[in-house]
A and B are shown apart, each in its own frame.
Chain A
Amino acid sequence: MIAVMARRVGGLLVTLLAVSFLIFAVMDMLPGDPAAVMLGTSASPDTLAALRHDMGLDRPFPVRYLGWLGGALTGDLGTSYTYGVPVAGLIAERLKITVPLALLAVGLSVLMAVPLGVTAAARRNGPMDFIIGLFSHVSIAVPGFWVGLLLILFFATTLRVMPAGGFPGWEAGVFPALTALIMPAFALALPQAGVLSRVTRTAVLDVLGEDYIRTARAKGLTAREALWRHAMPNALIPVVTMIGLQFTFLIAGAVLVENVFNLPGLGRLALQALTQRDIIVMQDVVLFFCALVIVMNFMVDIAYLLIDPRLRREAGP
């Protein structure tokens, strides 16, 4: 068990290192000189050289990479070229929006998907199963950011009951902040819910065919009791796995949805950094997002190891 864990942790570190190198190498190919961008065209060559030296741009590639990596490990992500403030602070500020948004979206999608998936499994091949199946097919096909646009169109511009976008900040109180996040979270959650409800249905059906469900029924439990008490806890394992694996799409969706709703989150920061050519910010945000995805997948892996003893002996796939 410990050996397998150690191998997984080793794998995690190697992947993180490789991703950071990939990001740095790609961003390093970027044409243009950040120092020149900062100073503008009128700067003298001496000032430019001095700034390049201060920013460490004149050092060789491996030194710059290791410097960036070392900084990232100690929480020093460098200084934004356009904002002139530490990137770590910028990211922390934006996380106050992106993290609650993502959590809200996952919560909403589970709230929608689990009851739908269980109902579909319980009424297998009935009309309800068909309707739920259709819902999941449609919601997977629908782009989340378009759902966001439709929500704005309906609730903000037509009914005028919800804000069309923007974020009042947590200082304005929890309720206004949550109000600003609920529509974007729903837009993010809908495509996820489609995937999750299908996974839930399959998982519940798989579990319902197991011997221990028959035993539970033989003991005198009703179908409903057997479903919720014995089938559900086991069926949730693949559902939780799927939530972890869908994380990449959640992040991609967040970048889009934040732009639809004008939410100053991490995704918007990345896009602004791209338009302003703020390389260090882009590099850091992308690294941060990728690290999140990798750690999330790693945790799914570990959760599997803890749940399923059979995986502990072999190294696994």
Chain B
Amino acid sequence: MTVFQRFARRPQLWIGAFVTALLFALALLSLVWTPLPPSKMQIMHRLKPPFDVGLLGNDPYGRDVASMLMVGAWNSLSTAVMAVALGGLIGTAIGLCAAQRRGLVEAALMRFCDVVFAVPPILSAMMLGAVLGAGRFTAIIAIATFMVPVFARVVLASALQIWARDFIMAARSIGKRPFGITMVHVLPNVAGQIIVQATIQLGLAILTEAGLSFLGLGMAPPAPTWGRMLAESQTYLSQAPWLAILPGLAIAFAVFGLNMLGDGLRDLIDPRHRDG
């Protein structure tokens, strides 16, 4: 199969993979190189438009927007990845446990998930922000908390299907312990679902993180985040519209790429969704 044919069969997967890879590459690059230090203020370059001094213009303090966006990509992605990892880990554990134990344990765990799911992440971040103080840690906890029920439900639904299969029966009849069956037979079979869900939730986590930073509930300044760049742009909307346009484009680009990748992966793993 030629490269083109592969692409034509799954355009979503490849576009998503490309955008996501580009994003991660830029974020990682920002750790070792940015055009300028992102917090370097050059007052004489204050509010310079794109292509004048810096590639993507300068902010009210003369900081280079391109550099800030790159570091923002790292800050945003790393927060989102940590939140999804934490939420995914706990949610998966809850889902697997509920599927293995059934009965009262399942009912109690799922009721707990209903309760957690009822609190929108922005609100839990506000509450946690009031208790722990605003910051990256609070943002991660708030986003992860919201992800727990999502993963728990997806994993429970898939795991229950696996538990009903014949090879589980076989494993039980030779005396394997339930926990062993969960780890050896159930988890690998639901791993695909978890990866798909993690990709899609990563996009949602980036959106939520941006919203939290916009409200001042994200990483503390001067660390640049896409959300706070948007919040700060409001004052200069008529003078410097690029400050409001570029960070939003970055967010949309990142989420778009991750959603495409998630959809593409789902098609790849679960044939029911093909042509859907």
| Chain A interface residues (CB < 8 Å from chain B) | 11, 14-15, 18-19, 22-23, 26-27, 29-31, 125, 137-138, 140-143, 145-146, 149-150, 152-153, 157-158, 202, 248-249, 251-252, 255-256, 259-260, 270-271, 274, 277, 279, 282, 286, 289-290, 293-294, 297
Contacts and interface: CB of A to CB of B under 8 A. Distances in A.
Contacts of A255: 120, 122-123, 215
A293 B130 contact: no
Contacts, number: 134
Interface string B100-140: 00000000000110110111111100111111000000000
B120 A293 contact: yes
The B contact surface, by secondary structure, is helix
A271 B130 CA distance: 10
A214 to B, nearest CB: 20
B119 A22 contact: yes
Contact of B111 (A11, A271, A290): A11
A140 B255 contact: yes
B230 A146 contact: yes
A22 B131 contact: no
Nearest to A21: B115
Contacts of B260: 137
Contacts of B254: 141
B256 interface: yes
Interface size class of B (residues with CB under 8 A): 35 or more
Interface in B23-72: none
B17 interface: no
A141 B128 CA distance: 26
A252 B121 contact: yes
Nearest to B251: A143
B118 A294 contact: yes
Interface of B: 111-112, 114-115, 117-123, 126-131, 203, 207-208, 210-211, 214-215, 230, 233-234, 237-238, 241, 244-245, 247-248, 251-256, 259-260, 275-276
Given A15-B114, A149-B244, A256-B214, A143 B207 contact: yes
20 contacts: A14-B111, A19-B119, A26-B128, A27-B127, A30-B131, A31-B131, A125-B275, A141-B253, A142-B248, A142-B251, A149-B233, A153-B245, A248-B118, A249-B120, A251-B120, A251-B122, A259-B215, A271-B215, A282-B127, A293-B118
Most buried by A among B128, B211, B275: B211
Given A149-B234, A271-B126, A289 B120 contact: yes
A252 B256 contact: no
A146 B128 contact: no
B60 to A, nearest CB: 16
A256 B126 CA distance: 12
B130 A274 contact: yes
Contacts of B111: 11, 14-15, 18
A137 B259 CA distance: 8
A256 B210 CA distance: 10
A30 B130 contact: yes
